[in-house]
A and B are shown apart, each in its own frame.
Chain A
Amino acid sequence: MSIDRATVDHVARLARLDLSEEERERFTRQLAALLEYFATLQQLDTEGVEPTSHVVNITNVTRDDTPRPGLPRGAVLAGAPEHEDGFFKVPPVIETETPP
């Protein structure tokens, strides 16, 4: 499995990580080695084998729809880097969310 600089840069953008030059070089090398090792899975025949996403066989756990208090807003916002008027505050969204 080959992984190059361009792939690392693409994945870093998807993961919203700003990597240093040194990290880009190191991760390209390390991810290539790991993926090569992980490719040993291809040796196993999994034809017709169901994937396991979860070991507990549960679906749609529901509870009664009864109102109960949520977490106190002040305590939740206290952990945020910036908040205003009871909201989390973020830089302008509309014009610049597209990655450069």
Chain B
Amino acid sequence: MQDARRWDDRYARGDGLPPLAGLPVAVKDNMCTTDFPTTCGSRILGRWMSPYDATVVARLREAGAIVIGKTNLDEFAMGSSTENSAFGPTRNPWDQGRVPGGSSGGSAAAVAASFVPLALGSDTGGSIRQPAGFCGIVGLKPTYGRVSRYGLVAFASSLDQIGPMAGTVADAALLLQVLAGRDPRDSTSADVPVPDYAKALNGTVRGLRIGLAREAFGEGLQPAVRTAVTQAAEVLKGQGAEVIEVAMPTIAYALPTYYLLATSEASSNLARYDGVQYGLRVPSTDLYGMYTKTRREGFGAEVKRRIMLGTYALSAGYYEGFFLKAQRVRTLVRRDFLQAFERVDLVLMPTSPTVPFRFGEKVDDPLQMYLADVYTIPVNLAGLPGISIPCGFADGLPVGLQLIGRSFEEETVLRAAHAYEQATEWHTRRPPLDGDGGGRGGTTQPRGRA
């Protein structure tokens, strides 16, 4: 509140204000902050306090934002429902019996419920876009390397990327502007100029070629989701975009590829949780016992499952057949996109194959849970920018539209998403929360803009 007053005073004096002056921003709890514990939704970190701010958090503060709190997530960002948090699940504001998606479910729900206008998420296989779709908000995964990962607790380092979550495309663009750019502390952050994203929002898709990924409209896609996404493509066509079909034969193999690579990288990254440097330690007379007991107590079921899978894929005798094979298929998935981008400027597909599912529905069936990310995962493997924006409702539950662009062409992604948003009113709907003055009928009140 003091920070907010300080900005108010400065504004009253007529002084210039930084872009996010006084705006409350929620931060996913796998990004380091010096003023809140960083838990990653895991018992193994406990209430660990980071000695430094993540680069994105430092940039928020420099831009005048008020980091108002940390949001719930699947433990170490591993999950598609936010059910895997040691702190319990987050509910979907649209239907509290359903999941908000994950792993950035806390950030998505906080924006959807209008607790905050802006939030940070991280996306390794869909963890920004899928919860954004499930909660009816905007979520952008930037190109790999667009945003610094310094201070983001590593899950799968070749796939992880931080991005904005917001109520509107313009707000997401505003937040990306603050986050984007080279950081000497992250050697994988790209030395590519950062354009003016707000300028890209010119309200038109005229002249843009958009490719419908044929393979993403097949088996496993809920009919109501198909209808909403197909209609969105028609809207874009009506606005002057050229819409054609593109073939992406390898994306069906992206899911197994991702789960081999991401778990392998995770098994290595999570080796650091050994009871020595951070958080939990379960004492033992010897070192091996301390490691194994600490990790037994500290990690939840999904994290253990993924560490097991990744350790297996990297172990002697299986490396060639699994890990290396997956890296080769990753090349083919990327090639599918590069070939599509010879003919189109954007690829369009659903964000998720279904509307938000119920608690407990998939949590004991890992493969079914993993399928929730079937359309978002290929984008991480290829390292491309992708956005999810609201494109309709099925049985009162939000449906997300995904638009994917070329490397470092977030401008085109944002431009098309913004133009679509101008032509529709989905983004103005708000969930009927208990105690909300608008009541259950008030689902079309405009959302407060940042």
Q: A residues near B, CB below 8 A?
A: 3, 7-8, 10-12, 14-20, 23, 27, 30-31, 33-35, 37-38, 40-44, 46, 49-56, 58, 61, 63, 71-72, 75-76, 78-82, 88, 90-93, 95-100
B interface majority secondary structure:
helix
Q: Is B383 an interface residue (CB 8 A)?
A: yes
Contacts of B292 in A (CB 8 A): 16-18
Is B312's CB under 8 angstroms from A42's CB? Answer: no
Given A56-B145, A76-B51, A91-B290: A40 in contact with B158 (beta carbons within 8 A): no
Q: When each residue 228-258 of chain B gets 1 if its CB lies under 8 Å from chain A and 0 otherwise, what string results?
A: 0000000000000000000000100100110
Q: A56-B188, A81-B279, A91-B287 are in contact. Are A15 and B267 (CB under 8 A)?
A: yes
Of the candidate stretches B18-26, B78-86, B121-129, B324-332, the one touching chain A is B324-332
Please state if B324 and A15 are interface contacts (CB–CB under 8 Å): no
The residue of chain B having its C-beta at the shortest distance from the C-beta of A81 within the complex is B281
Asked if residues B287 and A37 are in contact (CB atoms below 8 Å), the reply is no
With A16-B292, A46-B329, A50-B331 known as contacts, the answer to whether A79 contacts B279 (CB < 8 A) is yes
Let me know if A15 and B311 touch, CB within 8 A. Answer: yes
12 pairs from A and B in contact (CB 8 Å cutoff): A12-B308, A15-B311, A33-B366, A34-B367, A38-B260, A41-B257, A46-B328, A46-B329, A54-B188, A56-B383, A97-B288, A100-B288
Supplied contacts A16-B291, A81-B276, A81-B281, 16 more A-B pairs, CB within 8 Å: A11-B315, A17-B296, A17-B304, A31-B305, A44-B250, A50-B328, A51-B324, A51-B327, A71-B52, A72-B51, A79-B51, A79-B277, A80-B276, A88-B276, A91-B289, A97-B286
Q: CB within 8 A of B308: which of A8, A71, A82, A98?
A: A8
Cα A97 to Cα B49 with chains together (Å):
29
Min Cβ gap B372→A in Å is: 15
Q: Looking at chain A's contact residues, is the secondary structure mostly helix, strand, loop, or mixed?
A: loop
- A31, A34, A71 pick with most chain B CB within 10 angstroms: A34
- Give the total number of A-B pairs whose CB atoms are below 8 A apart: 170
Top 7 nearest A-B pairs (CB, nearest first) are A55-B383, A51-B327, A96-B286, A81-B281, A75-B51, A18-B292, A46-B328
Q: Is B190 in the interface zone, CB < 8 Å from A?
A: yes
Shortest CB distance A35–B (Å): 8
A35 to B263, CA, bound (A): 12
CB atoms of A41 and B312 under 8 A apart: no
**B50 — which chain A residues lie within 8 A by C-beta?**
79
CB–CB A42/B325 < 8 A = yes
